[in-house]
Structure 1
Amino acid sequence: MDYIFQKMTQEQAQDIAGNWRYDGEYSFYDMDADPEDLEEFLDPEKRADNYFIVFQDNEAVGFYSFRLADQETLDIGFGMKPDLTGRGQGSAFLKAGLDFAKSNYHPQKITLSVADFNKRAIKLYEKLGFRKVESFVQATNGGHFDFVKMELNG
Structure 2
Amino acid sequence: MDYIIRKRTKEDVNEFLTWTYDGLYSFYDNNVQQEKMDAFKHSIDSGLAFSVIDEANELVGNCEFFNEVMMEK
Number of the residue aligned with 1:12: 12
Query: What does 1:75-114 correspond to in 2, within 5 Å?
Result: none
RMSD: 1.6
Inter-partner Cα distance in structure 1 for 2:10 and 2:58: 17
Query: How many residues were matched structurally?
Result: 67
Q: Taking CA–CA contacts closer than 8 Å with sequence separation of 6 or more, which of the two structures ends up with the larger relative contact order?
A: 2
C-alpha contact 2:53 2:61 (8 A) present in aligned 1: yes
Residues 111-122 of structure 1: matches in 2 within 5 Å? none
Task: Determine the C-alpha separation between the residues in 1 that align with 2:36 and 2:68.
Answer: 18
Larger of the two Rg values belongs to structure: 1
Task: Return structure 1 stretches of 4+ with deviation > 3 angstroms.
Answer: none
Find the aligned partners of 1:33 and 1:60 in 2 and give their Cα distance.
20
Per the TM alignment, residue 51 of structure 1 is displaced from its structure 2 partner at its CA by 1.2
Structure 1 residues without counterparts, runs of 5 or longer = 72-154
Q: TM-score, normalised by structure 2?
A: 0.80
Unpaired runs of 5+ residues, structure 2, are none
Identity in percent? 37
SS in 2 for 1:61: strand
TM-score w.r.t. the length of structure 1 is: 0.41
Give the Cα–Cα distance (whole angstroms) in 1 for the partners of residues 68 and 16 of structure 2: 25
